[in-house]
């Protein structure tokens, strides 16, 4: 049964024309550093080069099966230390659930393995072969598989980009009891994601997905948390919801509202907009050791402090924060009653934690 739809006042996308809605959910059309038609090819090239380098320079196990399906494989990249007691950084690629591959997604491997962190890049069956329900099941099972394979891990940190951020968010809803294991989830990093899929139904992005309204609602973490809140895996498990400055207003709105929903149901969530980047180079930059997202401060084998996960967050200039919020006012329709800002300087346009 379809969930009741919020009123048009609460969902500004319903007031958009079909042309504007298509534009809002076409990330390459918001990139200002190159032509839209060049963006995806450039992204794939950078990802492929990073993956080739990672496979050539880091200790690894490739195409490790985490299930019985042909597409259920993962690549595992290890730090230099010969130990299984490391943090696991699990990455889910984007591509609107219809493109992308683990073979072009090892952006962050070299910077993170140099910090003593094992990186896992997961494949899943994209459309039209895979359905959204199957993809959600697959990525959930990949987390279970890793926990069983590395029971002494120092925490599983789940990161997803775009469609991968949606899949990572769906893991928040997982019922671990039926899987017979509770993974040691210690953090979520959701980058430029979509958390309410209903706006996509009438766009070209849905052509290979064939989503119905019920499909979209069943697989929308935003909607599912609103009607059946999922309790945090652990009280200290933080969720960072990120978006690039040059993502579209709809991507900004979805990220902020999902963060607010997480906070309302008890998760330790925060939202940040990263200055000067778009939907694509926010991930491309992970190849750099000095990029802010590769300096997340995950606990290393020598330090298991969970507080380091959030300690790295820079505090922005408040004048920039005020200007950014004013610019997006018409897209941000929910009151930030629980939000707080902190003065300072950093890489973010603005920051708030609603916990």
For residue 223, the cross-strand partners are none
Q: Is 278 a catalytic residue?
A: no
What radius of gyration do the chain's Cα atoms show?
Answer: 19
What is the token pair recorded at 103? 């073979």
- Catalytic, 142? Answer no
Please pick, among 103, 196, 247, 281, the residue that the annotation labels catalytic. Answer: 247
Nearest-5° angle of CA 61, CA 63, CA 66?
100
Q: Label the pairing between strands 73-77 and 88-92.
A: unpaired
Whole-angstrom distance, CA of residue 108 vs CA of residue 163: 18
Q: Specify whether the CB–CB gap between 31 and 215 falls below 8 A.
A: no
- Among candidate residues 142, 162, 248, 270, the one labeled active-site is 162
Distance CA 108, CA 110 (A): 6
Q: Which two tokens stand for residue 353?
A: 């934690």
Distance CA(178)–CA(61), nearest Å, equals: 28
Structure tokens at 105: 């997604």
Active site residue 161: no
Q: How many CB atoms lie within 10 A of CB 307?
A: 10
Check 141, 161, 246, 279 and give the catalytic one: 279
> Active-site positions?
162, 247, 279
């Amino acid at each position: 049964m379809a969930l009741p739809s919020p009123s048009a006042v609460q969902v500004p996308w319903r007031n958009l024309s079909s042309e504007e809605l298509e534009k809002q959910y076409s990330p390459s059309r918001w990139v200002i550093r190159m032509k839209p038609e060049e963006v995806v090819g450039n992204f794939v090239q950078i990802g492929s080069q990073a993956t080739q380098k990672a496979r050539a320079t880091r200790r690894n196990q490739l195409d490790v099966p985490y299930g019985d399906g042909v597409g259920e494989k993962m690549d595992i990249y290890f730090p230099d230390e010969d130990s299984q007691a490391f943090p696991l950084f699990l990455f889910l690629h984007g591509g609107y659930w219809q493109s992308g591959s683990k073979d072009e997604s090892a952006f962050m491997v070299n910077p993170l393995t140099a910090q003593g962190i094992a990186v896992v890049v997961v494949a899943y069956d994209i459309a039209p072969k895979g359905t959204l329900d199957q993809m959600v099941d697959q990525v959930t099972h990949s987390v279970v598989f890793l926990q069983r394979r590395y029971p002494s891990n120092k925490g599983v940190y789940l990161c997803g980009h775009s469609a991968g951020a949606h899949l990572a968010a769906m893991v928040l809803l997982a019922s671990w009891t039926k899987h017979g294991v509770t993974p040691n989830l210690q953090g979520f990093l959701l980058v430029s994601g979509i958390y309410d899929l209903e706006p996509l139904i009438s766009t070209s992005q849905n052509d290979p997905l064939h989503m119905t309204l019920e499909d979209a609602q069943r697989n929308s973490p935003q909607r599912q948390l609103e009607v059946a809140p999922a309790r945090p895996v652990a009280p200290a498990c933080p969720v960072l919801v990120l978006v690039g400055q040059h993502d579209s207003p709809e991507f900004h709105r979805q990220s902020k509202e999902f963060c607010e929903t997480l906070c309302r149901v008890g998760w330790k969530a925060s939202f940040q907009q990263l200055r000067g980047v778009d939907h694509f180079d926010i991930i491309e930059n992970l190849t750099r050791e000095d990029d802010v997202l590769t300096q997340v401060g995950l606990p290393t084998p020598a330090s298991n402090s969970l507080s380091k996960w959030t300690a790295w967050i820079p505090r922005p200039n408040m004048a920039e924060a005020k200007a950014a919020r004013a610019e997006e006012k018409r897209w941000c329709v929910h009151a930030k009653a629980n939000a707080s800002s902190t003065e300072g300087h950093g890489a973010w346009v603005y920051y708030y934690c609603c916990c």
